[in-house]
Structure 1
Amino acid sequence: MIITAKMTSKNQVTIPKAVRDLLALKKADTLEFVIDDDNQVSLKRQPDDSPDQFWNTIREQEAKYGSYDTPTVEWGEDVGSEKIDE
């Protein structure tokens, strides 16, 4: 099967629907371009459980929520014991 696509002036290519369907691509998938010694290119979808995908998710979450090492906010000295009405 041969499917063609054109590169834009910004060096972007839209992956044709037939290819997206064949590779079961979805939004935010990571694609891998494999180039052999004869400059032949193949395209693969990285599995969702790949280590790269896992660490990308970790970095995204850390940027959004911080990490265990993120310093806590200093609210000042403790006033004393706190009592909760029963």
Structure 2
Amino acid sequence: MVTSKHTTLAVAKMTSKHQITIPRAVREKLGLSNHDKLVFQLTDHGQVMIDKEQKSDLWSIIREQDAAHGSIDTPEPDWGKDVGAELIDD
């Protein structure tokens, strides 16, 4: 891997099934994790730009945040036996 001020060059080898492993430097730079999708943009000059697909679906964003930070669901509080048994004087 070669890195300069503005460019990182990483090499990946294609398998016989046309698959590649994305180099660690690229995964880290793009913030990739399991099951992320990549967008390939091809230019007229034969260059390829790769970026992480931006999620626009609310539930995808929620699942991603839940995986990263945990669920916001909390168990129902136990108020004890006396809650709901209050006597009201007339």
- TM category, shorter: 0.5 to 0.7
SS state at 1:20 partner: helix
Q: Which runs of 5+ in 1 are unaligned?
A: 55-86
Cα displacement (A) at 1:10:
0.8
Within the candidate set 7, 10, 13, 1:6 is matched to 13
Match of 2:39 among 19, 32, 40: 32
| Corresponding residue number in structure 2 for 1:44 | 51
**Structure 2 unmatched runs, 5+:** 1-7, 62-90
Amino acid at match of 1:10: K
The TM-score, its normalising length taken from structure 1, stands at 0.55
Aligned alpha-carbon RMSD (Å):
2.0
Q: 1:50: how far off?
A: 5.5
Q: How many residues align?
A: 53
Task: Tell which has more relative contact order, 1 or 2 (C-alpha 8 A, sep 6+).
Answer: 1
- Give the counterpart letter for 2:51 in structure 1: K
Report the Cα distance in structure 2 between the residues aligned to 1:4 and 1:44, rounded to whole angstroms.
16
Deviation at 1:23, TM superposition (A): 0.1
Calculate percent identity across the aligned residue pairs: 40
